[in-house]
Structure 1
Amino acid sequence: MKAYPLHPIRRAINLDGAWEFAWLGEADLSSLDPARLRFDEIEAVPGVFDTGIKRYGARGTGVYRRRVPFPAPAGTRLRLRLNGLGLWGRVWWDGECLGDVELPYSGYTFEITANGADCHDLAIAVDNRFDAERTPLFPPYSDFYAYGGIYRSIELEELPPLHVERIRVQTVDLDAARVRLEIRLGGDVPDELTLRLAFDGGDGELVAARPEGGVVRLERVLPDSRPWSPDHPELHTVTVTLPHDQIVERFGLRTVAARDGAIWLNGERVRLLGINRHEAHPQLGPALPPALVAEDLQMIKALGCNFVRLVHYPHDPITLDLCDELGLLVWEETMGWQLGEREFLSPRARAQMVDQARRMVADGINHPSIILWAFLNESASDHPTAVPVYREISQAIRELDPTRLVTWASHRYERDLCWEFADVVSLNFYPGWIHPTGDWSTPNLSLIAPYLAEKADYCARPGLEGKPLLVSEIGACGLYGYHDRARAQWSEEFQADYFDEACRAILEEPRYAGLALWQFCDTRSYVNTGNIRVKPRGYNSAGLVDEYRRPKLAYDVVARRFREAR
């Protein structure tokens, strides 16, 4: 399944499938030469190498290799795209190192000049060891498992001498259905050219254009259209055709704004009813097939959600395509789980934070489902060293996309020093579960409503009163199949009661513009570390469904609450 944008006439090959594999373990990456390796195993791409019986839970380096039949005359421009791997990668083409993949989950492209051969050797080293210098955005204490492998599809394509890189589509007048197009060209761009522009598969029109800086800018009106929304996720395509290239982008007519303490979609106030979702499965890790992604999102939609927070890294482009189609509003975020002063003061870490934010925005720019760009979950935004970092990341996002809202999930509350950079205030808290929990005589559920009211009052103070307030995480764990008539903690009954009270308290408090419950499915977490004491089985078990998507009692409780709130 190919995610948008599409290039229907561009010569390309999908490289998914069975690859040769060599496990190196604790390898010295500085001297690694794939030509000297013995490849005596097979691994799937997309896939992970650390969930099978041979290397379950292993950390180290594995090298993938395959032959690529792709004849092209010498000098032809080729492009290799990796849509996501983890935690770190290095790529070789015909023995030449093309570069490194430093950001887990992010898409990377590599430019290649064809050497005239009919078949080529492609090798990719993937290392899932934690390294504070090399991959500082994925610390070992993160509350989600760091799988090793090539998580997503790989493609190789031939670039025509003149080609279309992307079309950015922006709604400039919702009522008039007017859009602004930025057609970014690549290769040998002439001073003047003629292209064909078409919407929704029509014949379109010929357009004579003079690119400025490789970009053609146009405005057009879409007849017989209506806005994209969760209830009516109407999508359109725009196609640009050149003599030897074509691109198809998909988009929706949609506006989003934050004012008066609320989020406004297409000029109408919207309350976000949502849930957090990881890319996770016990056997597949984050390398989820499209059918499973579609089933996850349909279960979320059936729950009554109009909103999903995709955590804690940029998700598969196919996920975003499906959210567009299903009508799910999206919070998309970068990596960075509880980072602090060390990372904020590290030039390498800071550069990676900004780089991943820019890649995320550039890749997702046309998805109408995305309304919130976010970064650095639960990081030390109360520390003075955070201020310039949060300023730089939010500015980088707005430079690329001033049309969407910017936020981050904070657990620093009143101490947060960076709220001036946010359009939306988003808070993570677990009253009655993690903190506060009261003393031995305090019923846990009684702590939820007062705590929510306290945070709502705080966010009514000057400087914050006009910003929408979201609960970006709240929840409690329940072990699938564990039932207790006394409703003991860890039972499905306790978890259902917790979510019932949390939903009631949030939805009855007008200051909250919405919520994202924690979380959709149980996910692999810490293994054999101190924090395992609060992670039975090594899982974060706060899912409304378990890791195999079997619903717990809380699923139906939340569905009822969300139905009542619609």
Structure 2
Amino acid sequence: MIRTFNTHKIRTSTELDGFWKIKNPQTKKEYELLVPGGAEAIMELQNFQGVLQYYREFELEQEQNMLFTFHGVSFWATVFLDEVEIARHYNAFTAFTAFVPSIKAGNHVLRVEVDNRFSEASSLHIPNDYFSYNAINRPVQMDVVGNEWIEYVHATPLEKNNGWEVQVTGQIHSLQLQQGMMAEIEIDGIKEMTQIAVDGSFVTTIELKKATSWSPQTPNLYFVTTHLLKDGVIVDDLIERTGFRSVKVSDGKILLNDKPVFLKGFCRHEDAPIWGNALPFEMMVHDIDILKHLNCNSVRTSHYPNDQRFLDLCDEQGILVWEENHARGLSEQDMQNPSFKIQCKECNEEMVLQHYNHPSIYVWGILNECASDTPYGRECYAEQFAQIRALDQTRPLTFASCKFFTDICLDLVDIVSMNLYAGWYHDTPPQIYVKQISEWVKRVGGQNKPLIISEFGAGAIYGFHDYLGRIKWSEERQADLLEEQITAYLNDPDVQGLYIWQLTDCKVCESWAEKRPKCENNKGVVDRYRRPKMAYECVKKLFESKDKIR
């Protein structure tokens, strides 16, 4: 499954999921596994770091132009068709394509060389508080295309006269663009024709007088169907989906469709035993069910862009999404890596262009807990915010900071977000610490901006109990601290949203083992198998009673 809905009716698209061969070039041993999937699913290759070769055969009945899309390969990918290189890509969490013209009829071999080693060439993929798996972690598809095809279509909802209109923009890829090519766009039964410009772009606006808004309570969605016409004949199509809603920031509040919204949610990693970061769709559905059962209305995609299928589910289920680029805990020295700026720029562009149409995404985030307390760090934050604002003017921007009382970038954001672990990493009571942070934020660029507590929580090893002593790492201690933290933050009038760290436990790199029992970040309210800890019921009750507390 590529998306939760069909994206083509005209273009022939084939999913290349299923069994692939995998080969370790060092040992020469070969295995078989399901893709999406990776080394974690093979007993001999768990915790693997290195290069693996994933390959499979496919057959064409006639000569075709083919467009291959890899929705996620962790982390470096080099793609070969019949041993000829056709693509390279860095970053596990965004899609990339490879166009190959005139592939002959017959059998062919698609091979992907996957490298998850750390190196100086990699600025974002470093030893971290989550594991860097070797995997084709998201779906692969193969499309038959002609000499022209639709690269992307973006639908931007605009409020008009108590209703909605949609500005539709898009881009055509053409081997030889011809005059007179047209795009036909249909939304909710209304069609508009627009001409393709000489650079392959197109734009039109469609007024929808009867459209209903998207919100967590009413997640109404609309298909945006685009046909590409050449000499009056449809040669390609793309079906996207959107929802009509506005996101604004005003007087310290986050406004969804001009109404204040308070965010209750979790930070979530794509991680599970056996599958690693190649979560099956069924696990995504289950995670959404957990979020809704916990009375959440939001999720933070820490610390990277998420799978399109998970975002589709958030659109459908009314879960508001904070999506962020792939960068976590980088020092100024890390950010001075010669590859850092270009790799962030590529990740940002791919994230926004590929996920633009999801109405559930209400904010873009960048550079979690990086060097926002230094002049060079500020330069990086400013550059990336400017880049994203040029790509999307409809969503606010933020980043999660842990630079308490030293951050110099809070004036750059629309929403101030702080990671506070009061009671876990220090003993300051959360109700006092959040007030200290809030007052400081107002003095350094955060005045009249919403404040989100973007991380807070406590660790607990599943099944470890200490009913009387309630020591750290016991389920009792985690439940106690979460109750104290949530109650404090809900009672603070400046706080407009909470993201607990984290939904599920996750595997971490071994270099973090001294701080992470079992080589896991154990702050989930469920473990890696999604078994609830004691804190689960505490969070559920407090989130349910939010309005009463507040």
Taking the aligned partners of 2:192 and 2:296, their CA distance within structure 1 comes to: 42
Taking the aligned partners of 2:502 and 2:259, their CA distance within structure 1 comes to: 27
Report the counterpart of residue 443 of structure 2 in structure 1. 461
C-alpha contact (below 8 Å) 2:92/2:137 kept by paired residues: no
1:462 shift after superposition: 5.7
Q: Tell me if 1:313 matches 2:327.
A: no
- Write the letter of the residue equivalent to 1:474: F
Q: Tell me if 1:122 matches 2:86.
A: no
Provide, for residues 481-535 of structure 1, a one-character-per-residue CA deviation record: whole Å limited to 9, x for no partner: 22222222211111111111111100100111111011001111132x4x42331
Provide, for residues 251-293 of structure 1, a one-character-per-residue CA deviation record: whole Å limited to 9, x for no partner: 0001101121111111111111111110000111011111110
Bigger mean CA deviation after superposition, 546-555 or 477-486: 477-486
Q: Tell me if 1:225 matches 2:211.
A: yes
Taking the aligned partners of 1:167 and 1:460, their CA distance within structure 2 comes to: 39
Bigger mean CA deviation after superposition, 48-57 or 292-301: 48-57
Structure 1 residues 518 and 462: alpha-carbon distance in aligned structure 2, compared to 1, 3 A threshold: closer
Taking the aligned partners of 2:221 and 2:293, their CA distance within structure 1 comes to: 21
Q: Tell me if 1:478 matches 2:460.
A: yes
Taking the aligned partners of 2:43 and 2:338, their CA distance within structure 1 comes to: 39
Q: Tell me if 1:137 matches 2:127.
A: no
Q: Tell me if 1:549 matches 2:530.
A: yes
C-alpha contact (below 8 Å) 2:68/2:98 kept by paired residues: yes
Provide, for residues 334-377 of structure 1, a one-character-per-residue CA deviation record: whole Å limited to 9, x for no partner: 11121122232233121001110110000100000001111111
Taking the aligned partners of 2:532 and 2:99, their CA distance within structure 1 comes to: 45
1:221 shift after superposition: 1.7
Taking the aligned partners of 1:504 and 1:223, their CA distance within structure 2 comes to: 43
Give the ranges of 4+ consecutive aligned residues of structure 1 lying more than 3 Å apart after TM superposition: 193-196
Report the counterpart of residue 79 of structure 1 in structure 2. 67
Q: Over the residues paired in the alignment, what is the CA RMSD in angstroms?
A: 1.8
Report the counterpart of residue 513 of structure 1 in structure 2. 496
Report the counterpart of residue 495 of structure 1 in structure 2. 478
Bigger mean CA deviation after superposition, 156-165 or 228-237: 156-165
Q: Where do 5+ consecutive residues of structure 2 fail to align?
A: 229-233
- Write the letter of the residue equivalent to 1:259: S
Report the counterpart of residue 231 of structure 2 in structure 1. none
Structure 1 residues 199 and 143: alpha-carbon distance in aligned structure 2, compared to 1, 3 A threshold: same
Taking the aligned partners of 2:444 and 2:137, their CA distance within structure 1 comes to: 45
Bigger mean CA deviation after superposition, 360-369 or 114-123: 114-123
Report the counterpart of residue 50 of structure 1 in structure 2. 40
Taking the aligned partners of 2:523 and 2:249, their CA distance within structure 1 comes to: 30
Report the counterpart of residue 99 of structure 2 in structure 1. 111
1:5 shift after superposition: 7.3
Taking the aligned partners of 1:210 and 1:85, their CA distance within structure 2 comes to: 33
Tell me the secondary structure at the aligned position of residue 498 of structure 2: strand
Tell me the secondary structure at the aligned position of residue 480 of structure 2: helix
Bigger mean CA deviation after superposition, 230-239 or 414-423: 414-423
Report the counterpart of residue 523 of structure 1 in structure 2. 506
C-alpha contact (below 8 Å) 1:25/1:60 kept by paired residues: no
Q: How does 1:272-283 map to 2 (within 5 A)?
A: 272-283=263-274
Report the counterpart of residue 88 of structure 1 in structure 2. 76
Structure 1 residues 462 and 18: alpha-carbon distance in aligned structure 2, compared to 1, 3 A threshold: closer
Taking the aligned partners of 1:114 and 1:257, their CA distance within structure 2 comes to: 48
Taking the aligned partners of 1:216 and 1:128, their CA distance within structure 2 comes to: 39
Report the counterpart of residue 172 of structure 2 in structure 1. 185
Tell me the secondary structure at the aligned position of residue 362 of structure 1: helix
Aligned length: 538
Tell me the secondary structure at the aligned position of residue 24 of structure 1: coil
C-alpha contact (below 8 Å) 2:251/2:449 kept by paired residues: yes
C-alpha contact (below 8 Å) 1:255/1:266 kept by paired residues: yes
Q: Tell me if 1:259 matches 2:250.
A: yes
Q: Tell me if 1:347 matches 2:333.
A: no
Q: Tell me if 1:153 matches 2:139.
A: yes
- Write the letter of the residue equivalent to 1:57: N
- Write the letter of the residue equivalent to 1:555: Y
- Write the letter of the residue equivalent to 1:62: L
Structure 1 residues 87 and 163: alpha-carbon distance in aligned structure 2, compared to 1, 3 A threshold: closer
Q: Alignment partner for residue 41 of structure 1, among 20, 31, 41?
A: 31
Give the TM-score of the pair, scaled to structure 1.
0.91
Bigger mean CA deviation after superposition, 157-166 or 389-398: 157-166
Percent of paired sites with the same residue? 33
1:560 shift after superposition: 0.9
1:451 shift after superposition: 0.9
Report the counterpart of residue 2 of structure 1 in structure 2. 2
C-alpha contact (below 8 Å) 1:526/1:535 kept by paired residues: no
Report the counterpart of residue 162 of structure 1 in structure 2. 148
- Write the letter of the residue equivalent to 1:134: A
Taking the aligned partners of 2:156 and 2:194, their CA distance within structure 1 comes to: 21
Taking the aligned partners of 2:321 and 2:177, their CA distance within structure 1 comes to: 35
Taking the aligned partners of 1:418 and 1:111, their CA distance within structure 2 comes to: 41
Report the counterpart of residue 32 of structure 1 in structure 2. none
Give the TM-score of the pair, scaled to structure 2.
0.94
Taking the aligned partners of 1:121 and 1:160, their CA distance within structure 2 comes to: 21
Structure 1 residues 5 and 222: alpha-carbon distance in aligned structure 2, compared to 1, 3 A threshold: farther
Q: Alignment partner for residue 216 of structure 1, among 197, 202, 207?
A: 202
- Write the letter of the residue equivalent to 1:216: F
1:51 shift after superposition: 4.6
Structure 1 residues 53 and 255: alpha-carbon distance in aligned structure 2, compared to 1, 3 A threshold: same
Q: Tell me if 1:23 matches 2:4.
A: no
C-alpha contact (below 8 Å) 2:194/2:203 kept by paired residues: no
1:212 shift after superposition: 5.4
Taking the aligned partners of 1:537 and 1:515, their CA distance within structure 2 comes to: 27
1:58 shift after superposition: 2.2
1:470 shift after superposition: 0.7
- Write the letter of the residue equivalent to 2:286: E
Taking the aligned partners of 2:433 and 2:65, their CA distance within structure 1 comes to: 59
Q: How does 1:368-407 map to 2 (within 5 A)?
A: 368-407=359-398
